[in-house]
Amino acid sequence: MWVNHHRLFNHIRRSDNGLMFLNLLLLLGVSAVPFPTALLAAHYYTGGKTISAAIFNGTYVLIAVFFNILWHHVVRRGLLDSATHDSADAISKQYAVGPISYLICFGLTWVSVPASLLLNIALAVFFAVPPRTDTQKNAGKMQGATK
């Protein structure tokens, strides 16, 4: 989450009150993560495993929604550096997957807690890797074509 937050703010060149408020909501969600994590750890081997995992996964759903709302605000308000539009499109595409994927984790909680947590780990890896821009994809295709 911190890597994504840092990556986002590398693209932002201006701020407004809406951005500050949305960033506060996002950071509130991020700072709340230790509570559901501790709750899950305390109840994983008890009858409360499913409920604690649902709270854990629900927290990530909210954080994904906050990331998307913040990012869309930045794009709509033109708070980006003009040179980062290709990156902005790639980030927007990557972030669009977040809320739906974390909702799937949340739903999977009721079927299999371990599976929901494994998917959550996979999503953490997915969002830790920076998205490839169209320029990078095309450059890769060009290199492959010249070999």
Whether residue 119 is contained in a domain is answered as yes
Query: Number of helices and strands (H, E) in the chain?
Result: 7, 0
Number of domains in the chain: 1
Q: What is the dihedral of CA 105, 33, 38, 3, to 10 degrees?
A: 90
- Domain extent for 120: 2-131
pLDDT in tens, 92-107: 888 899 999 999 999 9
Q: Which two tokens stand for residue 32?
A: 């709340």
Whether residue 144 is contained in a domain is answered as no
Whether residue 142 is contained in a domain is answered as no
Whether residue 139 is contained in a domain is answered as no
What is this structure's pTM? Answer: 0.85
Whether residue 54 is contained in a domain is answered as yes
Whether residue 95 is contained in a domain is answered as yes
Whether residue 141 is contained in a domain is answered as no
pLDDT in tens, 35-52: 999 999 999 999 999 999
Question: What pLDDT tens digit does each residue of the chain (147 aa) get?
Answer: 888 898 889 889 999 999 999 999 999 999 999 999 999 999 999 999 999 999 999 999 999 999 999 999 999 999 998 767 777 888 888 889 999 999 999 999 999 999 999 999 999 999 888 887 655 554 455 455 555
Q: What is the CA radius of gyration of the chain?
A: 18
Whether residue 16 is contained in a domain is answered as yes
Q: How far apart are CA 115 and CA 135, in angstroms?
A: 35
